[in-house]
Amino acid sequence: MTTLRKIADLEVFPIGLGCMSLSHGYGAPTDPAQAEALLLGALDRGVTLFDTAALYGFGHNEELLGRVLAPHRSRFVLASKCGIFHEGGKRRIDGRPETLRRTCEEALVRLRTDVIDLYYLHRWDKSVPIEDSVGALAELVRAGKVRHIGLSEVSAETLRKAHAVHPVAAVQSEYSLWTRNPEIAVLEACRALGAAFVPYSPLARAFLADGLPDPEALDEGDLRRRMPRFQPGVYARNLGLLAPYRRIAARVGCSPAQLALAWLLHQGGDIIPIPGTTRLDHLADNLGAAEVALEAATLAELGALINDRTVEGARFGAGNAAEVDTESF
């Protein structure tokens, strides 16, 4: 039986579901019937952590989860995020207390719930002291509208400042074999403070799932088309990592996606990755990673093959990189 993992006092299946791709970031939103089948399929397969945000589809994703999952609210942990908006065709970060309070009220309506189990500050608004933004989230906890507070893409220093105002239950940042930034400092800080770590893009935006088409063939609205690692020349060189990676997966007896997720799960019992997908077969494959055991030698082999030194290209372009507070190599 798979051992559950904890976010504060919440117990969850070791692998959650990142819901962004159903509404945002990778082209047109998923067909409503397919999205509903995916969400209910995840619930039926034991997923207990569903992750969304006000940004995803500019409210569409929260509305989708509310419509489909509200009748089953007692069966899962609901996580959402605040602090990034899309207004007038432009992305804007706003961490002012009054904005966060308003966003929470709007999210509760879209999600069709009285309380959000885990509410993240999606990005730290560097024009607002982190203590002020977290103070507003703490007010929402006291008001019973939020159970636990999380932060996304923050440094260890910012996490400590936030935690001094109110306990931080979880930090969500990009983490996978090919994005190792959390290993610099924030993972250690999470463990010192008792915060869980929730990796997004644990499959390297499908690269490690071995199912990514030629990036130049991606939808014009797909965010990967603008990411340095997926630019034609750079991507061609990164592809060289996949052949030996596939050989390791074959030797272990699992899929490439399962190998990537299993590597993360073996980094600590406080790590709960949230891969996203729009397909039930990929969902079932991802969840199977919870049963994959990796020997120490295999973990070391994977870590040496794909890491911050062997992967070419930054994970974000200059604009998005300026928005995050995470330590960089």
Question: Does the residue 223 lie in any domain?
Answer: no
Pairing of strands 84-87, 77-82: unpaired
What's this model's pTM, rounded to 2 decimal places? Answer: 0.96
Task: Determine how β-strand 77-82 pairs with β-strand 146-152.
Answer: unpaired
Q: Has residue 145 been placed in a domain?
A: yes
Specify if 228 maps to a domain. no
Nearest-angstrom CA–CA distance, 184 and 161: 18
Is position 118 within any domain?
Answer: yes
Q: How far is CA 259 from CA 49, 131, 191, 264, 273, in A?
A: 21, 38, 24, 9, 13
Residues in the chain: 329
Domain count, the chain: 1
What order do you get walking across the sheet with 196-200 strand by strand? 17-18, 49-51, 77-82, 116-121, 146-152, 168-174, 196-200
What is the C-alpha separation between 211 and 100, in angstroms, rounded? 37
pLDDT at 209: 94
Would you state the pLDDT for residue 287?
98
Q: Is residue 183 part of a domain?
A: yes
pLDDT in tens, 56-104: 999 999 999 999 999 999 999 999 999 998 777 678 999 999 999 999 9
CATH code of 100's domain: 3.20.20.100
Report the C-alpha gap between 180 and 305 in whole angstroms.
13
- pLDDT, one tens digit per residue, over 135-145 is 999 999 999 99
The most distant pair of C-alpha atoms in the chain lies apart, rounded to whole Å, by 54
Question: Strand pairing of 17-18 and 49-51?
Answer: parallel
| DSSP code string of 45-105 | TT--EEE--TTGGGGHHHHHHHHHHGGGGGGSEEEEEESEEEETTEEEE---HHHHHHHHH
Residue 55 sits in which domain range? 5-206+257-291
In a domain, 146, yes or no: yes
**DSSP code of residue 145:** S
Alpha helix stretches (DSSP H) within the chain: 32-44, 60-69, 97-111, 130-142, 156-165, 186-193, 232-238, 242-252, 256-265, 280-287, 296-305, 318-323
Percentage of residues in the chain with pLDDT exceeding 70?
99
Measured distance CA(148)–CA(50) in Å, rounded: 15
296 domain residue, yes or no: no
| Per-residue pLDDT reduced to its tens digit, 193-231 | 999 999 999 999 999 997 777 888 888 888 899 999 999
Residue found under tokens 């490690």: 208
Spatial distance between the Cα atoms of 202 and 138, rounded to a whole number of angstroms: 29
pLDDT of residue 45: 97
Model confidence pLDDT, tens digit, residues 251-262: 999 999 999 999
pLDDT value at residue 2:
78
Inter-residue contact 196 to 187 (CB < 8 Å): no
Phi and psi (nearest 5°) for 220?
-60, -30
Question: Which tens digits make up the pLDDT trace of 245-300?
Answer: 999 999 999 999 999 999 999 999 999 999 999 999 999 999 999 999 999 999 99
Is 302 a member of any domain? Answer: no
**Taking all residues of the chain, what is their mean pLDDT, rounded to a whole number?**
95
Whether the Cβ atoms of residue 215 and residue 225 lie closer than 8 Å to each other: yes
Please identify every residue annotated as catalytic. 56
**CA-closest candidate to residue 211, choices 285, 293, 311:** 285
